[in-house]
Amino acid sequence: MAAVVCEPTRKGCPDLPAFDPQDRAYLLRLPQIGPTVIDRLAAAGFDSLATMRQAGLDKVVGAVCRQVGNRAWANRRRALARALDVPA
């Protein structure tokens, strides 16, 4: 899965995959996950919880960290683990 290098907003990156609307709504109800987090997940090539589960938590976090250019994004690990129902 190749990361898309662009701004994490839909306007700045027209080729972002559309994140599944039901998964997006679910994620937005969770603490520490907002629209920017979902846009960054999409910019890293993930378009649903299923694609994130298939890749695994470590690969999701790593892909987004590479996409945004730093490891600080790894702080979202627990929130994503909760969303994917996997151990952090």
User: Is pLDDT larger for residue 23 or for residue 70?
Assistant: 23
C-alpha 42/C-alpha 8 separation (Å) is: 8
Tokens encoding 61: 């976090």
Structure confidence at residue 58 (pLDDT): 93
pTM: 0.78
How do the domains of the chain map onto residue ranges?
Answer: 28-84
Examine the pLDDT at 45 and tell me if it is beyond 50.
yes
Examine the pLDDT at 6 and tell me if it is beyond 50.
no
Examine the pLDDT at 1 and tell me if it is beyond 80.
no
